[in-house]
Amino acid sequence: MCLIAFAWNAHPRWRLLLAGNRDEFHARPSAPLARWRDRPIVGGRDLEAGGTWLGADDRGRCAVVTNVRDPRDPQRGASRGLLASDYLAGTPDAAEHARALLAVAADYRPFNLLTFDARDAFYLGNRPESRAQAVTAGVHGLSNADFNTPWPKTRALMRRMRHWLDHGGEEDFAPLFAALADERPAPDAELPDTGVGLERERLLSPAFIRGERYGTRASTVVAIGHDGRGMIVERRFGPDGRPEGESAEALGA
């Protein structure tokens, strides 16, 4: 995933409401949202390394991971997608998992990880050093920088998440998918400088990235209620933003 906004304990029905886009090379093989046959995970699957960028389970847990955009940082270590799938397939709660992961976080490629269970939520990262922090109630955002770094597209998605919380229907996720489909680039004056050059910063600045080789592959909304029940909905896209289908799964049923 490369863009996420989520509301944690900020809605009368949904304990977690999360909207995110996965940006990736179109050539990287992946399976669509589904229930995994070999592990208690509901999510898409990276068929190259075996993990997931975003998943949930029937225990009211969820995990989502992004990379860290820094071309100077070598991409060495274990696949970050395994962080999400290992958490969901394991037994430790979010707090116990966070404590254990700190000891080995440096062994993975640069990552940002969000973990949620029925009680707690945590942000974990390993750049510039390994760290973990509990997530407070409210609306938060994450992209390919640090937690709540105010990149333009992150701020915009958080604003639209807050508007949905104030005005949206409980299961009308269309406004959130519309926010994830926003292709408007940010003004040059607001672009971050992550070392990839101005032209690429412009290309990566919209919520939805449309490209022949690289772009938004999936838009996903996760809603998990205070009772542990919910749903996960995924819309998939191919080269140049071509729609490739939609899947939905109930959680905790």
Question: What is the per-residue pLDDT across 145-154, written as a single tens digit (0 to 9) for each?
Answer: 878 788 999 9
Rounded Cα–Cα distance for residues 178 and 221 (Å): 11
pLDDT beneath 50: ranges in the chain:
none
Rounded Cα–Cα distance for residues 207 and 24 (Å): 13
Q: What is the pLDDT of residue 81?
A: 94
> What integer best gives the mean pLDDT of the chain?
94
Q: What is the pLDDT of residue 148?
A: 78
**DSSP letters for 121-188:** EEEEE-SSS-EEEEPPSEEEEESSSSTT---HHHHHHHHHHHHHHHH--SS--HHHHHHHT--PPPPG
Count of structural domains, the chain: 1
Q: What is the pLDDT of residue 132?
A: 96
Burial class (CB in 10 A: 0-12, 13-18, 19+), 240: exposed
Contacts of 5 (CB under 8 A, 6+ apart): 18, 19, 20, 139, 140, 141, 142, 154, 157, 158, 160, 161, 179
Q: Both tokens of residue 166?
A: 């104030």
Q: Which CATH number belongs to the domain containing residue 40 in this structure?
A: 3.60.60.10
Q: What is the pLDDT of residue 146?
A: 79
Which domain, by its residues, includes 130?
Answer: 3-251
Q: What is the pLDDT of residue 73?
A: 79
Q: What is the pLDDT of residue 1?
A: 63
Model pTM?
0.96
**What percent of the chain clears pLDDT 90, i.e. is strictly above it?**
86
